[in-house]
Structure 1
Amino acid sequence: MKSTKISSSFLSHKFHLPPKSSQHLFLSSSSLQVAPADESESETSSISSPLYNLLPDAENPAKAVDLVCSALKPGNLIRIAGRKAEISGRPLTSSEISRVLLRCQSDSRAALSFFDWARKSFKCNGNRLDTLNYCLMVHILAWSSNYSQAMEVLSDLVRMTATKEDSVFKGLIQAAELCNWSPVVFDMLIRVYIRSGMLKRGLRAFQNASRIGFSSNVITINILLNALSQENHFSKCWEVYDEMQRIGVSPNSCTFNILIHSLCRSGDLGMVDEFMEKMEEEGFEPDIVTYNMLVDSYCKRGRLKDAVHLYYIMYKRGIPPDLITYTALISGFCKAGNVKDAHQLFLGMVHRGLKPDSVSFNTLLHGYCEEGMMHEAKSLLHDMIRDGVGPDDFSFRKLVEGFRKHGRLVSALNLILEVQKFGISVSQDIHEHVVIALCMDNRPFAAKNFLDRMIDNGFEPNMVIYRELIISFCNCSCVDEALRLKDEMEEGKGLKLCLDTYRSIITCLCASSRNLEANSMLQEMINLGLEPDAEICRALVVGHCGDRNINEALFLLGFFARKYHVFDMVCYNRVLRLLGEKGNVGELMEFQENMMKIGFAPNKLSCKHVVGGLQKAMKDHRNYI
C-alpha cells in the first residue's frame, strides 16, 4: 500500500485545523503519570536546553521519547515497565506522545501497546489523550490493515468528542499530514457514526470527505443510504445518490434496492417505474429482493392489481416468486377482505413446493379470524402443527380474539386445552390473555377454572389477573367469590389490592346492601394508603341512603369532602332528597348551610329537593292541624 501525502496548503484551504492540545503525560521513576490539560507548553521548550545534554540519558528529559521508543522495540515490550522506572520524572507532552506513535508507526502492535497504556493512565488521573493522538493511532492501525482495532479506537474517540462537531474529521486530516495513511479511515468514520446512532454526523463526514476529494466505497455509501431510509430521511437518500454519481462511485444492485425501498417507504410509487428504467439502463436487472419490496409496498397500499401484475412479470423474467412474495400477496388479499383468493394463493404456494413458515401461516390465520371464518382458522392451526410449524403467541392471540369477537370464547379456551394435549407449549401471556378475555366477557367462573389449571401447570398469576377476576365477579354481583379471591390473593400470594379492585368490591357490597362491610373495606384501603375517589363515595353514600341510614350518609359525605376534596353532587342530592322526604325543615336547611360552607354548590336538582321537602313539611303540618 502506497503512502498518501496531503498538501498542507490544500488542507488549510479546505479546513481550519484545530490547535494542538496541551495535554501532557508524566514520566516518573515509579509510573507514567497524567499531566493536567492546562499545563503550559513553556515547560516543553525548556526541555530542549543544552544543559540537559550533560545528564545521563536515563535522567535527561530530552531523551524521554528515545527511551520509550527503545523500550517498545520488538522483543523489548515486556521491558517497558522496568525501563520507564529509569526515566526522570517530568511531563511527556501531547506532542511527544504523537512522536512516539509516529516513530512506532511501522510496528502497529508496539504503537497500540503504548497507546493503550497511555489511555488507561490518563483515565486513572481524570484526563484523556487528545484528538490528534487518537487520530494518529487510527491511521497507524488502518495503514497496517488492523481494521477492527482501528474501528475500536475510532469508536472511543467518537464517544469522547460527542459534543464537538467535525472535530474527529479534522483530527484525521491533521494526523494524515504526519504519517502514512489510507482514505479508508473516512469510510470507517462514517460507519462508526452510524453504528453510534449519530446519523447526521455520518452524513456530514461523507459530505466533507467528498468535498475534499475522497470517495467512499459503495459498501459504506449503501450503509449510509440504508440508515437514512430507515430513519425516513428520504430526500437525503437522493442527495447522497446524486453525490455518489458526481464523485464517480458506481452503484450496485444493493444501492438500487435500498433506493427502491426508500421510494416504497415514502409512498412515492409513481417514481418507481422511472427509477427502475434508469436502473436497467445502467445494466442492473431487478432481482427477487427488488420485486418483493415492490409487491409488499403495492399490497400495503391496496394496489393489488399492480402487485399481481408484478407477480406474473416475475415468472416471465425467470424470477420465481418466493415465500416472501407469496406472504405479501396473501396479506394484501386478506386486508382487502378477499380471504378466498388468499387461501387459493396459499394452496398454490404449497403446490409449487414452497414450505409455509410461521409468518405465512399467521398471515392467512389472521385473515380467517378477521372474517369470522373460525372453522377454517382452526383447521389451519392443525395444518401448522402437522407441518411442524409451531403456533406462536400471535397465532393464539388472533384465535382468541376471533372467537371472542364472534361470541365463542369458550371455544378458544377448549382449543388451547386441545393443543396442549399434543404437547404444544402455550405461553403464560396467552393464558393470561384468555383469562382477561373471559373476564371482560363476564365469564368469571370459567376464567377462575382456567386460572386454576394455569396454577396446576406451574403458572403464577399476577396482580393484573386477580384484578380482572375480582372486577368480573363484582360485575356479575358475585361479591362472595370476589372476597374469597381477595383472601387467596393477599394471604396465599402476598399481593395487595389496587384502587380499581377496592372500588369494584365496595360498589358491589353497597349494591347488595352490605354497607357495613363496605365501610370496613373503605377503612382497609385507607390504611393501605389508597385514596378513595368519587365513585367509591357515591357507592357508600347512596348505599346508606338506600338503607335510610341518614346519619352515616351525612358523615361520609362530609368526610369525603373535607379529607379528599370529593364534592359529588349525586351524593349531595341523594342525601338532600332523603332529608326532604322526612319533611324536617330544620334538618334540611341546616344540612344545606353546612354543605355550602365546606364547598358544595347546590344545582337545579338540589333546589327541587329543597322545595319538595318544604312542600312535604307544609303538607304534614296541615294534616297535623
Structure 2
Amino acid sequence: MTRASLNALNQSLVNSANFYGNFISKLPFSSSSASSLQTIENSQCKPLLNPLYNLLPETRNPNKIVDLISSSLKQNNSQLTLLQNHIKPLIPHLGCHEITRVLLRFQSDCSSALTFFNWVKNDLGMKLSSHNYCYIVHILAWSKNFSLAMNLLCELIDFVKDCSNCEDLFESLVSCSKDCNFDAVVFDMLIKGYVRKDIVSYNTLISGYCKEGRMQESKYLVHEMIGNGISPDSFTCRVLVEGYRKQGRLVSALNLVVELRRFGVSISSGIYDFLIVSLCREDRPFAAKNILGRISQDGYVPKPDIYNELIKTFCRCNNVADALLVKAEMVRKRIKVNLVAYRALICSSCRIGKTHEAESLMAKMLKSDILPDPHICRVLIQCYCDQMDIDKAESMLSFFAKKFRIFDTESYNVLVSTYTESGDMEKLMELQDRMMKLGFAPNSLTCKYVIHGLLKAKRLYKQKLLGS
C-alpha cells in the first residue's frame, strides 16, 4: 500500500470518527455542556469514554488526555504550558475523574502532583472537586509536606462551606484514602484546619470592635474563644494591645497580657516589644523597665533596639543615672549600644553640665567603632561655651573637623558668638583665620555675629574713653 493510500485511509477514519462522535453527542444520554466529558455511565458511575475517539489522532483523542499529561509531567514539569497549547481541543474533556487519575499516578512524586494540581487550578482556571482536593492533601501529607497540605486543607474547608450541598470532609478523606497512600495525621490536620478557620472569624470580629474602640466587646469575645477551647493567636493579642494603646490605656493592655498568660496563651516577643516601646514613647521608662525585668524571667530576650529605646527615654526624662544602668547591663550581656543611645547619653550629660562624663562616653563610643555625628559635636561645643571654656570648645571643634571631617557650621557659630560676647575682636579675627584654614566657611549668621562683636567692641571702647 502506498503512502498516499495510507494517508487517504487515515483521513477516512478521522472523518468517520468525527461523524460518529457528532452523532453520539446528539443522543439523549450525552452531556449538553461543551466543556464536560462525553461519557457512558456504567453501574459504578465511572465514566466510559467513547471508543470511537480512538480513531482520532492522539492529541485529539480524549481517551489519551491522562496519558499525555502524565507523559509531560514525567519529562519536565514545565512542559505543561507547552502541552496546554498542543492539546487545546482536549482541555474541555479534562474532568474531575481525569484529574484524579493523574494525581494517583503521581502519588509518590508530590512535586509533580502539586504542579499538575496548580496548573489545573490556576492556569486552566478549572473548578476542582472536593475529591481532587482530598487526593492532593493525602499525597502531600504522605510525603511529609504538612504545611502545604494544611494550606490546601483550609482551602477545601472554605470550598465545602461555600457549596450548596454541605459535604462531610471527614468521610470524603476516608473515602479517598482507599485509593492512595495516606497518613492518619491528615485527620488531625482537618481538626486543626477547622480551628484555624474560628479563629479567623473571631479575629475578624475582634479587629472590627478594636477599630471602633469597643474594647469591652473585644475582651468578651476573647473570653468566649478561650471558653470554646480556641487559643488566641499573636494576631488576636496584637490587635487588642494596639486597641488599648490607641485609647491611651496601656495599663489595661498590660493587665490583659497578664490575664492571657494565666489562661496559658502564648505571648509573642513582638507583643512585648510593642508594649515596651509604647511605654517609652509615652515617657514612662520605669514602667517599661519593670515589665522588661518581669518578662525576661520567663525567657523573653529583648532585642538591642529595646535597650537602646530605654536609654533614649531615660535620657529624655533627665534620668541619666538610670540610663547608664541600662547601658551597663547591655555591656554585661555583650549587647552593642548604638549611635542613637550614645547620642542621648552624651546630650543628657551635657544638659546637666557633666562634660567630663560626656567626653568619657564619646571615648567609649569611638572604642566601639561608632563614629560621632554633627549633633554630638554641636552639643559638646555648646556645653563648653556655656561654661566659658572657649579653648576646650575650639579644641573639640578642631578635633571633629580633622578626625571625622565634620564641619558643623552651627557649632562654629556658637563658638563665634561666644567670642563676640567678650568684645575682644582681635581674638575673634584670629579664630576666624584658624577655622578657615581648617575648612570652615562663614555664613550669614557668622557675619551677623561678627558685626555684633564689632559694635560691642566699639561701645566698650567709647565707655573706656569716657571713663578715663
1:509 to 320, 326, 349: 349
Amino acid at match of 1:204: L
Tell me, in whole angstroms, the C-alpha distance in 1 between the residues paired with 2:312 and 2:427: 38
1:191–1:223 Cα contact (<8 Å) kept: no
CA 1:510–1:288 in structure 2 vs 1: closer, same or farther (change >3 Å)?
A: closer
1:190–1:206 Cα contact (<8 Å) kept: no
Give the structure-1-normalised TM-score.
0.49
CA 1:319–1:477 in structure 2 vs 1: closer, same or farther (change >3 Å)?
A: farther
1:222–1:254 Cα contact (<8 Å) kept: no
How many residues align structurally?
Answer: 334
Deviation, structure 1 residue 433: 2.1
Deviation, structure 1 residue 186: 4.0
SS of alignment partner, residue 299 of structure 2: coil
Amino acid at match of 1:608: K
Residue 307 (structure 2) aligns with: 466
Matches within 5 A, 1:102-251: 182-188=67-73, 192-193=77-78, 202-207=80-85, 209-210=86-87, 217=94, 219=99, 223-224=118-119, 226-228=121-123
1:478 to 295, 319, 331: 319
1:576–1:610 Cα contact (<8 Å) kept: yes
Tell me, in whole angstroms, the C-alpha distance in 2 between the residues paired with 1:566 and 1:222: 62
Deviation, structure 1 residue 356: 7.6
CA 1:288–1:453 in structure 2 vs 1: closer, same or farther (change >3 Å)?
A: closer
Residue 573 (structure 1) aligns with: 413
Residue 382 (structure 1) aligns with: 223
1:186–1:205 Cα contact (<8 Å) kept: no
2:346–2:358 Cα contact (<8 Å) kept: yes
CA 1:205–1:319 in structure 2 vs 1: closer, same or farther (change >3 Å)?
A: closer
Tell me, in whole angstroms, the C-alpha distance in 2 between the residues paired with 1:289 and 1:617: 89
Residue 554 (structure 1) aligns with: 394
CA 1:252–1:505 in structure 2 vs 1: closer, same or farther (change >3 Å)?
A: closer
Deviation, structure 1 residue 187: 3.8
CA 1:222–1:182 in structure 2 vs 1: closer, same or farther (change >3 Å)?
A: closer
Tell me, in whole angstroms, the C-alpha distance in 2 between the residues paired with 1:391 and 1:445: 29
1:534 to 350, 362, 374: 374
**Identity across the alignment (%):** 38
Tell me, in whole angstroms, the C-alpha distance in 1 between the residues paired with 2:432 and 2:271: 54
Residue 432 (structure 1) aligns with: 273
Amino acid at match of 2:422: K
CA 1:605–1:367 in structure 2 vs 1: closer, same or farther (change >3 Å)?
A: same
CA 1:188–1:516 in structure 2 vs 1: closer, same or farther (change >3 Å)?
A: same
Tell me, in whole angstroms, the C-alpha distance in 1 between the residues paired with 2:241 and 2:84: 51
Per-residue CA deviations over 1:12-52 (Å, capped at 9, x if unaligned) read xxxxxxxxxxxxxxxxxxxxxxxxxxxxxxxxxxxxxxxxx
Deviation, structure 1 residue 596: 2.3
Tell me, in whole angstroms, the C-alpha distance in 2 between the residues paired with 1:610 and 1:581: 10
Tell me, in whole angstroms, the C-alpha distance in 1 between the residues paired with 2:249 and 2:388: 44
Tell me, in whole angstroms, the C-alpha distance in 1 between the residues paired with 2:348 and 2:216: 39
CA 1:288–1:482 in structure 2 vs 1: closer, same or farther (change >3 Å)?
A: closer
1:288–1:319 Cα contact (<8 Å) kept: no
Per-residue CA deviations over 1:234-279 (Å, capped at 9, x if unaligned) read xxxxxx57xxxxxxxxx55569x99xxxxxxxxxxxxxxxxxxxxx
Deviation, structure 1 residue 462: 2.9
Per-residue CA deviations over 1:554-610 (Å, capped at 9, x if unaligned) read 112121122212222221111111111111112211222222222222221111111
Deviation, structure 1 residue 507: 1.2
1:401 pairs with 2:242 = yes
Per-residue CA deviations over 1:398-434 (Å, capped at 9, x if unaligned) read 1221111111112111111122223333233322221
1:364 pairs with 2:210 = no
Deviation, structure 1 residue 529: 0.9
SS of alignment partner, residue 334 of structure 2: coil
Q: CA RMSD in A?
A: 3.5
1:541–1:557 Cα contact (<8 Å) kept: yes
Tell me, in whole angstroms, the C-alpha distance in 1 between the residues paired with 2:264 and 2:116: 49
Per-residue CA deviations over 1:499-520 (Å, capped at 9, x if unaligned) read 1111111111111211111111
Tell me, in whole angstroms, the C-alpha distance in 2 between the residues paired with 1:475 and 1:499: 15
Mind listing any 5+ residue stretches in structure 1 that lack a counterpart? 1-6, 8-180, 194-200, 229-239, 242-250, 259-286, 293-313, 323-353
Amino acid at match of 2:329: E
1:190–1:202 Cα contact (<8 Å) kept: no
Tell me, in whole angstroms, the C-alpha distance in 1 between the residues paired with 2:166 and 2:319: 61
Matches within 5 A, 1:335-350: none
SS of alignment partner, residue 183 of structure 1: helix
Amino acid at match of 1:519: E
SS of alignment partner, residue 407 of structure 2: coil
Amino acid at match of 1:399: L
2:73–2:80 Cα contact (<8 Å) kept: no
1:289 pairs with 2:159 = yes
Give the structure-2-normalised TM-score.
0.64
Per-residue CA deviations over 1:283-306 (Å, capped at 9, x if unaligned) read xxxx973995xxxxxxxxxxxxxx
Tell me, in whole angstroms, the C-alpha distance in 2 between the residues paired with 1:379 and 1:288: 26
2:277–2:309 Cα contact (<8 Å) kept: yes
Deviation, structure 1 residue 533: 0.8
Tell me, in whole angstroms, the C-alpha distance in 1 between the residues paired with 2:120 and 2:458: 88
Residue 495 (structure 1) aligns with: 335
CA 1:433–1:252 in structure 2 vs 1: closer, same or farther (change >3 Å)?
A: closer
CA 1:191–1:515 in structure 2 vs 1: closer, same or farther (change >3 Å)?
A: same
Amino acid at match of 1:369: C
Mind listing any 5+ residue stretches in structure 2 that lack a counterpart? 1-6, 8-65, 100-114, 134-156, 169-194
Matches within 5 A, 1:56-135: none
Tell me, in whole angstroms, the C-alpha distance in 2 between the residues paired with 1:562 and 1:471: 29
Per-residue CA deviations over 1:466-500 (Å, capped at 9, x if unaligned) read 11111111121111100011112212x12221111
